[in-house]
Structure formats: C-alpha cells, structure tokens
Copies of this chain bind each other. A is one copy, B any other.
Amino acid sequence: MKGFLLSAAMLLVFFSAQSQSPETLMVRAFRQQKEHAWLEEYLSFLSVPNTATDTLGLKKNAALIMQMMTKRGINNVQLLYPATAGKAPSVYGEVMVPGATQTLIFYAHYDGQPVDSTQWAKGLKPFVPKLVKGALEKGAAMTAFPANLSNIDPDWRIYARGASDDKAGVMAILCAYEAISRSGLALHSNIKFFFEGEEEAGSAHLGEIFQQYKSLLRSDLWVICDGPVHQSGKKAVLFGARGDAHVEITVYGPARPLHSGHYGNWAPNPGLLLAKLLSSMKDENGKVTIKGFYDDTKPLTDAEKKALAAMPPVDAQMKEELKIVNEEMPGIALADAIMLPSLNINGMQSGNVGPKASNVIPVSASAVLDLRLVPGNDYKLQQQKVVNHVKDQGYHVTDEEPTDAERKIFPKIAKIKLSEGYNAQRTPLSLPVAQSVIAAVQSTTNEQVVAIPTMGGSLPLFLFDKYLNAVTITVPIANHDNNQHAENENIRLRNLWNGIESLAAVMLIPPPVK
C-alpha cells in the first residue's frame, strides 16, 4: 500500500510538471528576473489618480500607458478619442505578425472607482500605493520597497485604488507581451491592445469609439482582463458579465431642517420614508418584490447548467471569510444567485450619524440602487420597473428637485435619477475559441481552471457585440478578496505573476484550423 501511495504521489508530481507548458515555464523564468523592475513600474502607475472626476489624472494615466507600451516595442501606439470628446481616451497599440491569420485584442481599463479616503485604513491613501506583507485585514504589516535582488514574497499585496481593478489588467497584459517578445517565443497571431479610461463611469463613449475605429479594432477575439479569479483561488475563464444600471432615489421631509424635539412626531421624517420604500423592494428572503423584476430573464442553456454544476463549491468558504451566516436568499448558492438580476443598496443617507449627528428631522433622504442584469433584461425596462414600484407606493415621481407647487400637492415625492447603463452579455461556451482559451489557461496551472458562464460584476460586453460583432472572453487575474470598488483595494503579487502567465498563454493560442 505504501509503495503504491508513493508512486501515485510521484505520478502526480510528474503530471504537474507535465501539465505546465514549456512556454509557461519560459514566461515564469523571465518574470522572475523582472519582478523588481515591474513592481517599481507598477507602483508608479498606481500613484497616478484615476477617478472619473479627475480628468487630468486620467490623461496622465493614458500618457503613462503609452510610454509603457512604446518601451515594450508595441507599435502604432495612439489615443482613441470619441468624436464627442469623452473625458478619458482609450489607449491603443498593436504588434502585427507577418502571415498571421488570427488577431487577438486584449482589453483592460485604467480608470478606477470613486474613493473616500477617510474610509481607508490608517497609513493607506488611495493613490499612495503601499506594499503589505499579506492581507492588511488579517494584521499583516506594511513593508518598504524591497532592495534589489532581495526576495519578493508572492503573498505580499499592493494596496491602492486600481491595484486590482483594473490597472492590474493593463500591467499584466503589457508584461505578458514583454515576456513573450523577450523570451524569443513565436507569436502566431496579431496582438492588439485596447485600454479604456471610462469603464467605471459606465463606458459612455465606448460604443462611439468602436464605431469610429472599427477597422483598427478588427479582431477574432477580444480577451477581457478584469475582475477576480474564482473564490477557490483557481484560475477562471468567464464567458459573460451581468449588465448594470443605477437608480438614485431622494425622498423629502420638511423644506428646511427641523429641530427633532419641536417637530418630532409631526413633520414627516424622510429617513423613515426611505426606509419604508427600500424595505418594500425586497422580501424577508431577499427576493425582489418589484413587479415583473425577474420576468424577462432568459433560461440557462444546457452548457451553462453543466458549467455551473462543475464549479467548485465556495459558499461555505466565503461565508467563513465574510462572517456571514445566511445568504441574502437563503439556500441559493453564490454561483446561482449571480445568474439572476439583482437589486442592491450601494448607499443610503439621511442627516448624519456618528459625531456629526444632530437632533434634526432632515430635509431629505437618498439611496443609490445598483441593478445588475442578466440576458433577457433590458436595463431601461429594469429601471422603469423600479420607478413604477415607487409610484405604486404612493409617490409622485420627478427627475428634478421638486417645486414648491409639487410639494403642496403631493404628500410623498421621490426624485429619481436613472443612470446610463448596459445590458448583460454571454458568449456561448460551445464556441471552438472558448475551448482554446480554456485550454491555454489550463496549460499554465496544475489546478482545474473554472469555466464560469458569467461574472457577477459588469463589463460593457454588449457594446463589443453591438458595434464590432465581436466575441469576448474574460480572463481575470485579481485575488477575489481584493476589496474592489471599496476602501483598501489591493492585489496579491502571486495573482499578478500568475495572471501574466495566463495572458501570455492566451496570446499564444493557435489560429483555428480553417
């Protein structure tokens, strides 16, 4: 028995070594030499602010990316501005391979979510990237930039806005190309690069850019590098994303703030009105109670059902990690939950809490709702369902600050702002190129690669389909516990290194047999 066990273990080691391609080992060896230089470059990149309101910061990021591309020998590097002048251009570059019959284009975005510096941990600022010897939340300490030639622990993390979402994508794509070109590996495909600057602001000009630069952007596959790997830590390939749209609701109390003693019990309290309104949108089991909310949802395909069934279970691990006892919809697993449209309260506020709280009846209360969409949902229709629900609760709905005349007539008024948004998109798992990408990523790791029908998050993938008739497949690289979109965003270095290997492998996929 013992002998048999040993043999099985040896076989596994042999198989493991076998299962990582020679190309992966070459990319890895190159990366190991470059770690210090890449880390230094990445920290500089993360130091440039990239929020949607910081137009100058976004332009600086774009200029820096152009330098990073040119330095790596990428050609035809340029900024793509939409005709209507969006706030931040996309950055384009290409490497054309003589005789190539396939073109792959790699996408990431360099803009980041808004920041609230006061929420970040002590010693951290969103645009002063810091190295931490692990997860800060688990007590790991900050550390200085490592001296040259000293060891860089792959479990170290970089904390900064954009560290994982999605400057990591830009960095990993450029480093993957650098590793290939400098290791003497042969490309079989033309490689194009496309880095967006308005993704977190809703990609308002991406469609325009696609229309204007349609021929420049021609490709057989868009490889999207954004979002986290599977929560199990295994590499993932994703075939879709949920759509996204927002609804911002403000309800009103008295026209001026009132002393809560003199008027408490008499003047309507906007916080309570909002609480009742939000409360009416979901039942105790987390199910959205807005009329028709789930009605348009397309049923899953057999391939999607199969992929879902094959996904490693993560719910128990995630509950442990997030200190959650029950799911919002009790008994519905995470992988299944994200196959449904969702409604989430991103934020709500009325008056102040904490040291700034005062004894008032505030004048208003606001909430920002995030709607995620799946195939079949139309984002404008989904927003309209929320508006109708608010009306059904007895509210007069307006999209402007209510006038005095309105306030005199209507007991309950809601100002509702509907954001721009976009629908969900899914690429069929059955396409040959889908299988090629899974195989490429599988060639870099001993562990099972997880094929996921859709990410829970959103990317404007429908635009690629609509304007370019393009196929999109997502290869994410960030650790799942990256605090994406929130304070203390971070990336674990191991994920950056592994991501470079995944993306290099995808750059090397063979052209389809014609």
Chain B residues near A244 (CB, 8 Å)? 261, 359
The answer to whether B456 and A263 touch across the interface, beta carbons within 8 angstroms, is yes
Closest to A456 in B: B262
A286 to B264, CA, bound (A): 10
A33 to B343, CA, bound (A): 65
The answer to whether A275 and B279 touch across the interface, beta carbons within 8 angstroms, is yes
A408 contacts the other chain (CB 8 A): yes
Proximity string of chain A (260-285) to chain B, C-beta cutoff 8 Å, 1 when within and 0 when not = 11111111110110111011001010
Q: Which of A3-11, A16-24, A305-313, A484-492 contacts B (4 or more CB under 8 A)?
A: A484-492
Of B323, B327, B348, B359, the residue contacting A266 (CB under 8 A) is B327
Please give the count of copies of this chain that the complex contains. Answer: 2
Chain B residues near A411 (CB, 8 Å)? 325-326
Closest to A340 in B: B265
Of B256, B351, B368, the residue contacting A347 (CB under 8 A) is B351
Proximity string of chain A (366-393) to chain B, C-beta cutoff 8 Å, 1 when within and 0 when not = 1110101000000000000000000000
The answer to whether B347 and A348 touch across the interface, beta carbons within 8 angstroms, is no
Of B323, B344, B357, the residue contacting A269 (CB under 8 A) is B344
A365 contacts the other chain (CB 8 A): yes
A359 to B276, CA, bound (A): 22
The answer to whether A366 and B353 touch across the interface, beta carbons within 8 angstroms, is yes
A466 smallest CB distance to B (angstroms): 20
The answer to whether A326 and B268 touch across the interface, beta carbons within 8 angstroms, is yes
The answer to whether B350 and A457 touch across the interface, beta carbons within 8 angstroms, is no
A168 smallest CB distance to B (angstroms): 14
Chain B residues near A35 (CB, 8 Å)? none
A337 to B261, CA, bound (A): 11
The answer to whether A256 and B358 touch across the interface, beta carbons within 8 angstroms, is no
Known: A116-B356, A260-B346. A269 touches B328 (CB 8 A): yes
A259 contacts the other chain (CB 8 A): yes
A418 contacts the other chain (CB 8 A): no
Of B116, B358, B404, the residue contacting A485 (CB under 8 A) is B358
The answer to whether A344 and B264 touch across the interface, beta carbons within 8 angstroms, is yes
A497 to B263, CA, bound (A): 25
The answer to whether A328 and B365 touch across the interface, beta carbons within 8 angstroms, is no
Of B228, B257, B266, B352, the residue contacting A483 (CB under 8 A) is B257
Known: A269-B328, A360-B485. A262 touches B457 (CB 8 A): yes
A309 smallest CB distance to B (angstroms): 18
A362 smallest CB distance to B (angstroms): 7
Chain B residues near A404 (CB, 8 Å)? 323
Proximity string of chain A (458-483) to chain B, C-beta cutoff 8 Å, 1 when within and 0 when not = 10000000000000000000001101
A137 contacts the other chain (CB 8 A): yes
Chain B residues near A248 (CB, 8 Å)? 353, 357
Closest to A271 in B: B345
Known: A328-B266, A351-B347. A372 touches B260 (CB 8 A): yes
A361 contacts the other chain (CB 8 A): yes
A483 to B407, CA, bound (A): 20
Of B323, B338, B346, B362, the residue contacting A407 (CB under 8 A) is B323
Known: A275-B279, A370-B264. A351 touches B346 (CB 8 A): yes
A265 to B457, CA, bound (A): 12
In A409-423, the 8 Å CB interface with B consists of: 409-411
A244 smallest CB distance to B (angstroms): 7
The answer to whether B486 and A360 touch across the interface, beta carbons within 8 angstroms, is yes
A79 contacts the other chain (CB 8 A): no
5 A-B interface contacts by CB (under 8 A): A254-B324, A258-B486, A269-B344, A325-B407, A347-B362
